[in-house]
Structure 1
């Protein structure tokens, strides 16, 4: 199906990322508020890319990356982290994430990571 799946427990963050992406011609195929929902939606939507927050209730981003990569080893995932979460970013990269962007977002950085992951 394609498109990009945005995963963040904060609705305004999802809105912000969606705004950056759609303004630049990317299609957002879904939004999830935690890792558990993200895994389910990944299976349904088969997105080209997932932009995943690290810290979320129920199932965090790292756990979700592991589950998605187990379903689809070629899954492309970019992590979003707040400052000071370097250790978690390393865990996420080891779990199979391609890249990460740090909050607060610079739109150029988000687009650069998306373009790199999709190329």
Structure 2
């Protein structure tokens, strides 16, 4: 069982992703609504994995990823993006994201990505 931080500006998406995570036997230990909040939660909670949206107001997931990787270069982060954001996904992977999933998020894809990143 992994402790996971879910980051998305949409409460609806956080709930859906959280439910998928819990159904797979993992635990959501925190939520954040932007990259800055994600970085603060990462410092406080020390999750095993972060699942973070690319596009958010105030501070994007890309900026949040940069900050988290600066704090912890070994941090495991899965980025989420909508179709058509290929350049952002490429940037996220170059910045150290562990993997990515495309929205709308499918449960089987999310769980297999989580297990792959965690080495399960």
Q: Deviations over 1:47-66 (max 9, x none)?
A: 00000000001110111111
In the aligned structure 2, how far is the partner of 1:75 from the partner of 1:19? 23
**Corresponding residue for 2:55?**
55
* Structure 1 SS opposite 2:56: coil
Q: Which runs of 5 or more residues in structure 2 are unaligned?
A: none
**Corresponding residue for 1:79?**
79
**Corresponding residue for 2:114?**
114
Runs of 4 or more off by more than 4 Å in structure 1?
none
In the aligned structure 2, how far is the partner of 1:77 from the partner of 1:105? 16
* Structure 2 SS opposite 1:31: strand
Aligned-pair CA distance for 1:24: 1.3
Aligned ranges 1:89-100 → 2 under 5 Å: 89-100=89-100
**Corresponding residue for 1:18?**
18
* Structure 2 SS opposite 1:96: coil
Aligned-pair CA distance for 1:71: 0.2
**Number of residue pairs matched by the alignment:** 118
In the aligned structure 2, how far is the partner of 1:67 from the partner of 1:76? 13
In the aligned structure 2, how far is the partner of 1:59 from the partner of 1:94? 19
Name the Cα RMSD after superposition.
0.7
* Structure 2 SS opposite 1:74: coil
* Structure 2 SS opposite 1:75: coil
In the aligned structure 1, how far is the partner of 2:52 from the partner of 2:46? 15
